[in-house]
Amino acid sequence: MRSVDAVLFDLDGVLVRSEEVWFHTVEEAGRVFRGRKVTREEFAPTFGQGTRADVEHFQLGCTPDELNRFYLEVFPRFASETWVNPEAGPVLDQLRALGLKRAVVTNTVSPLAFSVLRSADLFDLLDWVACADHVLYAKPAPDLVLHAVQKLAVEPRRAWMVGDSRFDREAARAAGVRFVGLGIDGEPRIERLDELIALLEAGPGPEQPGHAYEPS
């Protein structure tokens, strides 16, 4: 019997790359909400952490909701710099052919995530998109991962999460979902997204241990 029912994907760094888009957006947020731009040195270690953490880390004089509204206004100005992983569409198609459910789990708010996925022609290849505004706590908390598996109607132990950051790894492990690291250590690690298919066909390996956690 197949031991994997669903594969979850981080959005940025896995299916697309919009780090430059986000840098310019956050850079501008620093200018507006603290009086000086966020530098690349400040931004680099925080990429992917979520809006609430951005407010705290960069000491911005706004609420997370205000920052989200700012991001929604400013992000599209730089969106043309987004790169789409050419392996993303074929991999999602193959997973669908294998009968596996597919979801994105992202710290991006839903209007921006949906826009990026639609422009990349990936939205219709997914069964669910779990975004930062769907839960109280974004990654590295497990809330988004648990939200995704609940919406897909699968058990955490029967799902894999593909990510490229410690936020993804910590969220997956806390939720009891097997973490596959794209370019970082995981259980196991892959270097290219299309390696995922051979990995699934080879079998999951030892079962991911469960975690006691109550979603917020």
Tens of pLDDT, residue by residue over 129-178, are 999 999 999 999 999 999 999 999 999 999 999 999 999 999 999 999 99
Report d(CA 8, CA 213) in Å as an integer: 19
Contact 204, 3 (CB under 8 A): yes
Tens of pLDDT, residue by residue over 84-127, are 999 999 999 999 999 999 999 999 889 989 989 998 999 999 99
pLDDT greater than 50 at residue 41: yes
DSSP the chain: --S--EEEE-SBTTTEE-HHHHHHHHHHHHHHHHSSPPPHHHHGGGTTS-HHHHHHHTT-SS-HHHHHHHHHHHHHHHGGG-EE-TTHHHHHHHHHHTT-EEEEE-SS-HHHHHHHHHHTT-GGG-SEEE-GGGSSS-TTSSHHHHHHHHHHT--GGGEEEEESSHHHHHHHHHHTPEEEEESS--SSEESSTTHHHHHHHH---SPPPP------
User: In this prediction, what percent of the chain has a pLDDT beyond 70?
Assistant: 93
pTM (predicted TM-score): 0.82
The contacts of residue 188 (CB under 8 Å, 6+ apart) are: 180, 181, 199, 205
